[in-house]
């Protein structure tokens, strides 16, 4: 007897990861059904997705002018989607801190969260861990680096692992001189060399704040200390990360730069499936594969994020919120590219020791950090 398809909720179904996930689910109807979809405000695309996939639950945060009587509205719709009885796996592909309550609710309800929304784990790693233990849920990463590490660690003993090396594409400014970086435009920052992603993460890749978020994410997911997590630049984005064992042997996971595979793997882990539609791997076609040191002095967001991770408490949440706010101001044309790490650094200096023990304390620190950055730039 074959099992019934498992119901998947896609939070952020209208985004880059959300639409990728729908393509993946469409290819595997015997395994998965689309049980719930949510968006922020893109009702036109959401409507199209609802017509195509017939989910049991539809939610939109800002409904705008259109009226859909059966759709849930407001920020609470994410948690309602997660708790729907038809949902057994939640793909959290919302961008930013807005995904936190949904992640907590899902793991408390004993469900799997395929987590693209790394900001959730960065701001509240210990709380998410507690909620998993209390409710029996689990987090499986969608991020390609963490998916790679999860695959490399399978079946290893923790004491045999020496360190993780996360790869970073280096973003569009990898080779730009330091002075030019200060005044890079929004259009420059949105030209990512290897990945097509939402605007916020694309800017994060350009500042390397994304890699800082990923180091913190790796710390919480895999339980390694910050001294055991390093970053190397790998412009081709083919080696998704490395795991070095205590004897010096190094494992890596490779693949063409497509998010379809990590999305699918987060849903099926530890199982693997046929017919992924991913193009065949040809190392000659993908060569050469090169590696470089990170220019940490020129991309201070990476160091700032790792320092915030080490500091713990509310510091990672302050880092994340200051970054989200600064990126939004940059995308609005109100601050310069070089102001993003300046805003983060000042917010951490002022608020990094805030209380971070509860969800409410973290959300308060998040709100204060956003206000701090707006006031700093008089926006
Ligand atoms: P997008 O901006 O493309 O999509 C974001 C999605 O979230 C959209 O569906 C959007 O709805 C919805 N959304 C935005 N704000 C809110 C909110 N406040 N409340 C509820 N829903 C909201 O982002 P990506 O798909 O690129 O990224 C999503 C997450 O995945 C991020 O955390 C990112 O870091 C992570 N990630 C992304 C990768 C990628 O390749 N894109 C790779 C690895 C991780 P609407 O369309 O209506 O605005
Ligand atoms: Mg990544």
Report every protein residue that has its C-beta within 5 angstroms of ion ligand 2: 143, 145
* Same domain? 121 vs 197: no
Q: What angle do CA 155, 21, 260 make, to 5 degrees?
A: 55
Q: Which of 123, 141, 159 is the last residue of a domain?
A: 141
Spatial separation of the C-alpha atoms in residues 359 and 81, rounded to whole Å: 20
Does residue 116 have its Cβ closer than 6 Å to ligand 1?
yes
Measured from the alpha carbon of residue 202, the closest ligand is 1
Nearest CA to ligand 1 atom 5: 15
149 near 241, Cβ under 8 Å? yes
* Same domain? 237 vs 155: yes
Tokens 């002075």 locate to 179
Q: What angle do CA 191, 317, 187 make, to 5 degrees?
A: 15
Spatial separation of the C-alpha atoms in residues 89 and 139, rounded to whole Å: 10
Segment (H or E) for 164: strand 161-168
β-pair partners for 8:
34, 89
* Same domain? 37 vs 133: yes
* Domain assignment of residue 35, yes or no: yes
* Same domain? 137 vs 171: no
CATH of the domain at 23: 3.40.50.720
Does residue 183 have its Cβ closer than 6 Å to ligand 1?
no
* Domain assignment of residue 366, yes or no: no
**CA-17 nearest atom, ligand 1:** 25
* Domain assignment of residue 326, yes or no: no
**Residue-level pLDDT at 193:** 82
Does residue 15 have its Cβ closer than 6 Å to ligand 1?
yes
Centroid of ligand 2 to alpha carbon of 280 (angstroms): 21
* Same domain? 242 vs 109: no
* Same domain? 171 vs 297: yes
Q: Which of 89, 121, 141 is the last residue of a domain?
A: 141
Q: Does the N-terminal peptide bond of residue 189 adopt cis geometry, omega within 30 degrees of 0?
A: no
* Domain assignment of residue 284, yes or no: no
pTM of the model: 0.98
Centroid of ligand 2 to alpha carbon of 69 (angstroms): 37
Spatial separation of the C-alpha atoms in residues 138 and 133, rounded to whole Å: 8
- Domain total in the chain: 2
19 near 13, Cβ under 8 Å? yes
Helix axes 339-351, 315-331, angle to 10 degrees: 150
**Residue-level pLDDT at 30:** 95
**Residue-level pLDDT at 40:** 98
243 near 251, Cβ under 8 Å? yes
Does residue 103 have its Cβ closer than 6 Å to ligand 1?
no
* Domain assignment of residue 323, yes or no: no
* Same domain? 15 vs 112: yes
* Same domain? 97 vs 169: no
Does residue 195 have its Cβ closer than 6 Å to ligand 1?
yes
- What is the chain's pLDDT, residue by residue, as a tens digit (379 residues)? 468 899 999 999 999 999 999 999 999 999 999 999 999 999 999 999 999 999 999 999 998 766 688 999 999 999 999 999 999 999 999 999 999 999 999 999 999 999 999 999 999 999 999 999 999 999 999 999 999 999 999 999 999 999 999 999 999 999 999 999 989 999 999 998 888 899 999 999 999 999 999 999 999 999 999 999 999 999 999 999 999 999 999 999 999 989 999 999 999 999 999 888 888 899 999 999 999 999 999 999 999 999 999 999 999 999 999 999 999 999 999 999 999 999 999 999 999 999 999 999 999 999 999 999 999 999 8
**Residue-level pLDDT at 195:** 81
Question: Which residue out of 11, 68, 150, 198 has the highest number of ligand 1 atoms within 8 Å of its CB and is therefore the one to mutate?
Answer: 198
3-state secondary structure at position 247: coil
Centroid of ligand 1 to alpha carbon of 287 (angstroms): 31
* Same domain? 152 vs 239: yes
* Same domain? 218 vs 101: no
Does residue 262 have its Cβ closer than 6 Å to ligand 1?
no
Please, which residues have CB within 8 angstroms of residue 305's CB and are 6 or more apart in sequence? 209, 211, 212, 213, 215, 216, 316, 319, 323, 344
Could you give the C-alpha distances from 20 to 26, 165, 342, in angstroms and in order?
10, 26, 34
Spatial separation of the C-alpha atoms in residues 357 and 72, rounded to whole Å: 31
Strands (E), 146-254: 161-168, 229-233, 239-245, 250-254
CA nearest to 315, candidates 99, 95, 124: 124
* Same domain? 41 vs 150: no
Instruction: Tell me how far the alpha carbon of residue 232 is from its chain's centroid.
Output: 19
Does residue 93 have its Cβ closer than 6 Å to ligand 1?
yes
Centroid of ligand 1 to alpha carbon of 62 (angstroms): 15
Question: Which residue out of 38, 40, 63, 74 has the highest number of ligand 1 atoms within 8 Å of its CB and is therefore the one to mutate?
Answer: 40
Helix axes 118-135, 209-222, angle to 10 degrees: 10
* Same domain? 35 vs 173: no
- In eight-state DSSP terms, residue 337 is T
**Host domain of residue 207:** 146-257+293-311
Residue 379: count other Cβ atoms within 10 Å of its Cβ: 13
Tokens 């507690």 locate to 130
Residue 255: count other Cβ atoms within 10 Å of its Cβ: 21
* Domain assignment of residue 322, yes or no: no
Q: Which of 266, 282, 311 is the last residue of a domain?
A: 311
* Domain assignment of residue 165, yes or no: yes
β-pair partners for 36:
9, 57
Spatial separation of the C-alpha atoms in residues 144 and 211, rounded to whole Å: 12
Strands 229-233 and 138-141: unpaired
Spatial separation of the C-alpha atoms in residues 212 and 223, rounded to whole Å: 16
Segment (H or E) for 89: strand 89-92
* Domain assignment of residue 27, yes or no: yes
β-pair partners for 39:
60
């Amino acid at each position: 007897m074959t099992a019934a398809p498992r119901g998947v909720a896609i939070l952020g179904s209208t985004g880059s990861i959300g639409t990728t996930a729908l393509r993946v689910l469409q290819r595997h109807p015997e395994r998965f059904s689309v049980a719930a979809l949510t968006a922020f405000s893109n009702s036109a695309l959401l409507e199209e997705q609802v017509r195509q996939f017939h989910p049991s639950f539809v939610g939109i945060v800002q409904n705008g002018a259109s009226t859909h009587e059966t759709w849930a509205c407001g920020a609470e719709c994410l948690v309602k989607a997660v708790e729907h009885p038809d949902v057994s796996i939640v793909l959290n592909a919302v961008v930013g801190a807005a995904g936190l309550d949904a992640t907590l609710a899902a793991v408390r309800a004993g469900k799997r969260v395929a987590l693209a929304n790394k900001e959730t784990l960065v701001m509240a790693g210990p709380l998410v861990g507690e909620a998993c233990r209390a409710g029996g849920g689990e987090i499986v990463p969608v991020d390609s680096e963490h998916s790679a590490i999860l695959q490399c660690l399978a079946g290893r003993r923790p004491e045999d692992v020496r360190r993780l090396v996360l790869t970073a594409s280096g973003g569009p400014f990898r080779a730009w001189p330091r002075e030019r970086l200060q005044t890079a435009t929004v259009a420059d920052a949105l030209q990512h060399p290897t990945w097509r992603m939402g605007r916020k993460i694309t800017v994060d890749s350009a500042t390397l704040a994304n890699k800082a978020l990923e180091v913190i994410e790796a710390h919480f997911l895999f339980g390694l200390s910050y001294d055991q997590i390093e970053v190397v630049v790998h412009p081709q984005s083919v080696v998704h990360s490395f795991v070095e064992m205590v004897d010096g042997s190094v494992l890596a996971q490779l693949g063409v730069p497509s998010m379809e595979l990590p999305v699918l793997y987060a849903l099926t882990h530890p199982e693997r499936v046929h017919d992924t539609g991913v193009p065949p791997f040809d190392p000659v076609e993908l060569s050469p594969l090169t590696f470089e040191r990170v220019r940490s002095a020129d991309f201070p967001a990476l160091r700032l994020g790792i320092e915030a991770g080490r500091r713990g408490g509310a510091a990672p949440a302050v880092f994340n919120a200051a970054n989200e706010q600064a990126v939004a101001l940059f995308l609005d044309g109100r601050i310069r590219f070089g102001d993003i790490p300046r805003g983060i650094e000042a917010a951490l200096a002022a608020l990094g020791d805030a209380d971070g023990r509860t969800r409410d304390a973290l959300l308060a620190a998040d709100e204060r950090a956003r206000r701090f950055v707006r006031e700093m730039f008089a926006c």
